[in-house]
Amino acid sequence: MQMRKLGDSGLSVSAIGLGCMGLNYHRGLAPERKEMIALARAAVERGVTFFDTAEVYGPFTNEELVGEALEPFRKDVVIATKFGHDLSPADARRSGGLDSRPERIRQAAEGSLRRLRVEAIDLFYQHRVDPAVPIEDVAGAVKDLIAEGKVKHFGLSEAGASTIRRAHAVQSLAAIQSEYSLWWRQPETEVLPACKELGIGFVPFSPLGRGFLTGKIDETTSFGGNDNRAGLPRFTPDARKANRPVVDLLVQIGAQKHVTPAQIALAWLLARMPWIVPIPGTTKFGRLDENIAAAAIELTPDEIRHIDASAARITIAGDRYPQAEAERTQR
């Protein structure tokens, strides 16, 4: 597995990471826990060193699974987790479901350290920007945790360029994590240029469009009750049918190179910048191998130009989130 550095932070990780959310959360019926622990360990054996989780996944149970799975490999892996949601009882929650007050950040860090079975959190992201707490206060709280040796690196998820700059001025950011793929390219407008300017790595989540870009989902696919795609505007049957051209493009390029559309989608991301590290998630061993193999695929300049030009002519149907949730992103 090739390695990449997340900007100027010095944090070196595998070119393809593993998004762990779906191992037991938000993707339908949770698989057998022992099997998912085995999958995470298989990823390590195949060269993956970068694993992503969050306290809200479960909540808490995903961190516990990841902590157990990776404990034997602790010196060989980088684990990223996230804070920022209000996980208190429903009648005591703050408006909006977010909470990045400094005291809550410290509480989240202590819990994540315990569940992940680590002495320090490698990369600690604010999961979503909390409009009720100045980003300078958030960065300052993480800076204190870094000084205490409880956190190694700071990151933001789904933050806008101005927020990134303000946070970075207080505590240097190692990475920005946001959705980014061939069917969601908004980060290219302001966020990726800011990352390049400031020397910050970029970690695309949902790099395969929550599975749509694999070509295995169409308008007839059904989602279980615990699968959040069932409530996303971009995953209505009509939207899935309308968005098929972006998959057809990937299929076309993949056929020419004798690889899968998912591998082309990941290779396209890797070709954007050397400090981009996608974190596709999967619960299947075959798909894990397929994703990892994408790191070795090289797209020619002509192929990249063809993909970009063709994609520019495709209008993607459906918002990626319902309106209320969309308003909490890219602040």
Instruction: Read off the DSSP letter of residue 280.
Output: -
Q: Residue 92 sits in a domain of what CATH number?
A: 3.20.20.100
Count of CB atoms within 10 A of residue 258's CB? 7
Q: Is residue 149 part of a domain?
A: yes
Q: Are strands 12-14 and 3-5 parallel, antiparallel or unpaired?
A: antiparallel
Q: Are 21 and 27 in contact (CB under 8 A)?
A: yes
Distance between CA atoms of 220 and 208, rounded to whole angstroms?
Answer: 19
Q: At what angle are helices 33-45 and 61-70 packed, to 10 degrees?
A: 50
Q: Is residue 112 part of a domain?
A: yes
Tens of pLDDT, residue by residue, the chain (331 residues): 999 999 999 999 999 999 999 999 877 778 999 999 999 999 999 999 999 999 999 999 999 999 999 999 999 999 999 999 999 988 778 877 999 999 999 999 999 999 999 999 999 999 999 999 999 999 999 999 999 999 999 999 999 999 999 999 999 999 999 999 999 999 999 999 999 999 999 999 999 999 999 999 999 999 887 888 999 999 999 999 999 999 999 999 999 999 999 999 999 999 999 999 999 999 999 999 999 999 999 999 999 999 999 999 999 999 999 975 655 565 7
Q: Is residue 196 part of a domain?
A: yes
Domain range enclosing 292? 3-326
- Catalytic-role residue among 25, 57, 125, 180: 57
CA 46 to chain centre: 20
57 is an active site residue: yes
The per-residue pLDDT for 27 is 75
Q: Is residue 90 part of a domain?
A: yes
Half-sphere exposure of 36 (CA within 13 A, CB side): 24
Whole-prediction pTM? 0.96
The per-residue pLDDT for 299 is 97
Q: Is residue 331 part of a domain?
A: no
Tally of domains within the chain: 1
Q: Is residue 312 part of a domain?
A: yes
Q: Is residue 27 part of a domain?
A: yes
Q: Is residue 170 part of a domain?
A: yes
